[in-house]
Amino acid sequence: MSKHTRRRFLEDSLLATTAALAAGSATSVLADDKKPAKGPNDKAVAAVIGVRGRGGSHIKDLTDRDDVDIAYVCDVDTGVGMERVEQIEKLQGRRPNFVQDMRKVFDDDSVDIVTIATPNAWHALAAIWAMQAGKDVYVEKPVSHNVSEGRRIVEAARKYNRICQTGTQIRSQPGTIEAIKYVHDGGIGEVKLARGLCYKRRNSIGHTPDSEVPEGVDYDLWLGPAPVRPFSQNRYHYNWHWNWAHGNGDLGNQGIHQMDVARWGLQADNLGYAVVSYGGRLGYEDDGETANTQVTIHDMGDGRRLVFEVRGLETEPLRGANVGNIFYGDKGYVVMTGYSTGAAYDLDGNLVKTFDAGGDHFGNFFDAVYARDHNLLNADILEGHLSSGLCHLGNISYRSGELISDNEIRERLAGDDEALDTFDRVYSHLTENGVNTSQTPIRFGQRLTFDPESETFVDNDDANASLTRDYREPFVVPAAGQV
């Protein structure tokens, strides 16, 4: 990217910040007493928020570039954050600032770009605050913790004219881009069924008593929008994925990647018309709350169906895929077995074509940032919202469910051969793992009809209440029209 283009991007960012401030829309409340010097000339100034696991990959991707200066590391856990500060100082030759409160980052006008890899419950608020302060944003998947939040981030991106990339990096893999194009172009004929698979072993997290907040951790900031409750290592680093207050289970963890690919392949550009989900946390008892075994069936309109399967117990792959996708056409099928790898087959199972090429998702983000054009993004926030939203809809149905017998499940699925076949496979899988569903029954969710236009359930107040949450002040995601 030319120096001129970079400078223009920095100037545009400044203009947008000034405009947002003039409109009284910046919400940062903390004074900033530690402004870093602007990065070496013409470098985009970045902050990474949440730096333990995935945040480490953000740091690597940013420090691999020569056009970025990381000015801030932000993490509520001082120990985690300071380790990253040392690492970045070695990599880029300049020591970034460390802050626990992300609002200090947003208060600093010199920051152009914010990347977010906190637990899910913080994604929307962090992204919206950042864009209100004029920053461009790379936000991890799922972009939201509930459906309404996702739509609010899209609203903020458009209102403040910010670039907002979703962290679904598969969207930038040429192998998958080619495979999806092949599906769209009719390579396997008409496609009415897409399967997303998250066959990923997840061990029990056991039981751990609540304990004191570790030294150096700002627990109030960690909780953020979620209700206050005692600290537990079993709800803290990474384990929060299995707790509804901060996570969305494996459907919204690994699963969102393959949910996104399935929706992409089906050319479904909304949240669909109905959803039903069933499953359970089966095979062990621990402090986790979310399902480790779950099937979610989405009616995406025009006879298109998206079926998602989460399997956290030992399992064989399906048509060679563990974490992947299968698209079924009337002339063949495509199986994606990795983030950039897959193959097309004819109806007899003969190999027709393979797909395999990796790409650069952060590179795509920067291209869009410099061009000031969100249409260049491979995973614009709208895509992130829709695919994250499908995961949330699945979880809403699942959580609305009741524990019923296998026979009753078969009765409810009667007449739907594909759904019965999927259930039979799940049932065998559970049996192979020693799960006796007459002792630990499966939770079968309500079939919920949805209006994708208004993004609300049809005539169902309880389900509609689950599209958002009660936010704990001051960590409140603005309501519609108020971002």
Residues within the interface to ligand NAD (CB under 6 A): 49-55, 74-77, 80, 102, 117-120, 122, 140-141, 167, 169, 221-222, 224, 237-238, 253
Angle at 242 between CA 239 and CA 246, to 5 degrees: 85
Cβ nearer to ligand NAD, comparing 54 with 158 = 54
Cβ nearer to ligand NAD, comparing 103 with 429 = 103
Cβ nearer to ligand NAD, comparing 362 with 398 = 362
Minimal distance, residue 162 CB to ligand NAD, in Å: 19
Q: Which helix (H) or strand (E) holds 193?
A: strand 191-199
Packing angle, helices 147-159 and 123-132, rounded to 10: 10
Minimal distance, residue 465 CB to ligand NAD, in Å: 24
Minimal distance, residue 140 CB to ligand NAD, in Å: 4
Burial of residue 31 (number of CB atoms within 10 Å: 0-12, 13-18, 19+): exposed
Cβ nearer to ligand NAD, comparing 224 with 478 = 224
Minimal distance, residue 56 CB to ligand NAD, in Å: 7
Cβ nearer to ligand NAD, comparing 139 with 163 = 139
Q: Which residues of 224-254 are buried (b: 16+ CB within 10 A; e: fewer)?
A: bbbeeeebbebbbeebbbbbbbbbbbbbbbb
- Torsions phi, psi of 185, nearest 5? -80, 5
For residue 224, the 8-state DSSP code is T
Amino acid in position 271: L
Residue 150 burial (CB count, 10 A): 29
Cβ nearer to ligand NAD, comparing 50 with 445 = 50
Minimal distance, residue 376 CB to ligand NAD, in Å: 20
CA 378 from centre of chain: 15
Nearest residue to the partner ligand NAD, using Cβ? 53
Helices within 185-235 (DSSP H only) = 219-223
Minimal distance, residue 289 CB to ligand NAD, in Å: 16
Angle at 102 between CA 97 and CA 108, to 5 degrees: 65
Minimal distance, residue 101 CB to ligand NAD, in Å: 8
Locus of tokens 């609540």: 210
Cβ nearer to ligand NAD, comparing 44 with 76 = 76
